[in-house]
Structure 1
Amino acid sequence: MTKLLEVSALTVGYGEAVALDAISFDVARGEFITFIGPNGAGKTTLLNSLMGVLRQKSGTVSFKGEDLGTLKPETRVARGIVIVPERRELFPQLSVEDHLRLGAFLRRREGRAILDAGLERIYALLPKLKERRRQLAGTLSGGEQQMVAVGRALMAEPQLLMLDEPSTGLAPRITEEIFEAIARLKADGMTAIIVEQNAHLAFSVADRGFVLEVGNVVASGAADELRQDPRVLAAYLGAGDRYRDA
């Protein structure tokens, strides 16, 4: 499979503190990978670094063979990398449809007909958004706001979609709807990185997984294999004590 993203010895820090310590991994086209781990492990830091929000201390990040170096976040979006942030970052006074169209801002020259077709694809994936398309984002439930954030990201037609804790704060029924949509995106050939504390959910859609603790990858492998790893079971799948290195 063709590698879409290659990360080598990525180190990110805040002042003297190291948040990510020489992380290396790659993502093939059409592959879903997940990073799981406790709060403070560096999961969101990783996504923000890949997005260009945080600068790396060392290491390289290459996308489609291009070293992203110091490219700004908006340039990375134009290259095809899009994030759905944990806090969703919606505008309360904008409608659902306005948010979706905002996601396609860099595609505005493609014409209204093409963007309207993109909207219909989002509405087919997340039907509740069509019902709420005129509603202001500030009046939506948490689950509906998450759907808007996902739809807005998809309107950019990303080649790499990054989802930061998509299940946070959502009711189980809404979480199931979100992950059903994510599974459909995978079936359609999307490439994604999912950061998630709920390992059950993460492994349900991922091809490969990485366990991140205190800025270090302490376990990795095929999602099905990690599900059976007794140390991962103990820490993240409800089978006992916290993950410890063997």
Structure 2
Amino acid sequence: MTKLLEVSGLAVAYGNAVALESISFDIDRGEFITFIGPNGAGKTTLLNCLMGVLSPKAGTIAFDGRRLGTEPPEARVAGGMVLVPERRELFPALSVEDHLRLGAFLKRRRTREQTAAALDRIYTLLPKLAERRRQLAGTLSGGEQQMVAVGRALMSEPQLLMLDEPSTGLAPRITEEIFEAIDRLRADGMTGILVEQNANLALSVASRGYVMEVGGVVASGTAADLRNDPRVMAAYLGVGDRYRDTAI
């Protein structure tokens, strides 16, 4: 497979505080990977760095065969990267469909028929959005807002979809619906990076995983290997540094 994203030696610091330390990984086209670990491990920082929200102090990011430099987030979206942030960043006074159309802003050359077809694909993937299409985002439940954020991102037809903690604050039933949609995207060939504290859910939809702790990767492997290793739960719960001198 062709590598879509290649990251080497990525480091981020806030003053003297190290947020990421020498992170290296790659992702094939059509592959879904996950980063799991406790709060403060650096998972969101990693996504923000990939998206251009933060600037690394060291390391390289190559996307679709091109090394990224100081491109702002909007340029990276135009190039095929998109991030669904943990806080969703919706506009309360805009309707569901307005949000989806906003996600397609960079696709201005689409015909009306192409835009309608793109909306239909989102409504098929996330049927609740079809029911709520005229409803204002500020009146939606947390789970429905998460669906809007995912749908808006997909309207840009990304090559790489990045999801930051999609299960945060959601009821188990709604979380299941969100992850069923993620799994369908993966099965359809979407390339993705999932950041998630719920290790079991994350590893159920990813082919490979990385365990992060205190700004670094402390373990990695196939989803099956990590799911069956009891030490992963220790890292997920943030227990000590037991990974530091071991490998999976």
* Structure-2 residue corresponding to 1:136: 136
Cα deviation per residue 1:163-206 (whole Å; 9 max; x = unaligned)? Answer: 00000000000000000000000111000000000001000000
CA-based RMSD: 1.3
User: 1: CA distance between counterparts of 2:110 and 2:131?
Assistant: 26
- 1:60 has 2:60 as partner: yes
Q: In structure 1, what is the equivalent of residue 126 of structure 2?
A: 126
DSSP 3-state at the match of 2:38:
coil
Deviation per CA, 1:73-123: give whole Å up to 9, x if none. 100000100000000000000000000000000002222211110000000
Is the contact between residue 234 and residue 243 of structure 1 (CA under 8 Å) also seen in structure 2?
Answer: no
What is aligned with 1:28? 28
Partner of 1:100: 100
| TM-score for both structures, normalised by structure 1 | 0.97
User: Does structure 2 conserve the Cα–Cα contact (< 8 Å) formed by 1:11 and 1:22?
Assistant: yes
Instruction: Specify the alignment match of 1:206 in structure 2.
Output: 206
Task: Give SS of 1:161's match.
Answer: strand
Q: 1:186 and 2:183 equivalent?
A: no
Question: Hey, what does 1:46 align to over in structure 2?
Answer: 46
Secondary structure, in 3 states, of the residue corresponding to 2:107?
A: helix
Q: CA 1:234 to 1:13, structure 2 compared with 1: closer, same or farther past 3 Å? A: closer
Which deviates further from its counterpart, 22-31 or 225-234? 225-234
Deviation of 1:234 after TM superposition, in Å, equals 3.7
**Identity score, percent:** 77
**8 A contact 1:50–1:61 mirrored in 2:** yes
Q: Shift of the alpha carbon at 1:16?
A: 2.0
Question: How many angstroms apart in 2 are the aligned matches of 1:68 and 1:101?
Answer: 27
- Determine helix, strand or coil for the equivalent of 1:59: strand
Unaligned segments of structure 1, at least 5 residues: none
1:2-56, CA deviations, whole angstroms, 9 ceiling, x for partnerless residues?
1000000001111221100010000000000000011000000000000000001
Q: 1:243–1:146: structure 2 CA closer, same or farther, 3 Å change rule?
A: farther
CA contact (8 A) 2:11 2:21 kept: yes
Aligned-residue offset at 1:235: 4.1
What residue identity is the alignment partner of 1:66?
R
Q: 2:213·2:235 contact (CA, 8 Å) conserved in 1?
A: no
Any conservation in 1 of the 2:211–2:235 contact (CA below 8 Å)? Answer: no
- What residue is the counterpart of 1:244 in the other structure? 242
Measured at CA, do residues 243 and 131 of structure 1 come closer, stay the same or move farther in structure 2, by a change above 3 Å? farther
SS class of match (2:19): strand
SS in 1 for 2:109: helix
Distance 1:235 1:199 in 2: 10
Question: 2: CA distance between counterparts of 1:79 and 1:22?
Answer: 25
Paired residue type of 1:82: V
Evaluate the alpha carbon distance shift between residue 94 and residue 127 of structure 1 in structure 2; reply closer, same or farther with a 3 A threshold. Answer: same
Contact (CA 8 Å) 1:231, 1:243: kept in 2 or not? Answer: no
- Check conservation: 1:100, 1:151, Cα contact below 8 A: yes
**Stretches (4+) displaced over 4 A:** 240-243
Structure 2 residues not aligned, in runs of 5+: none
**What is the number of residues matched between the two proteins?**
244
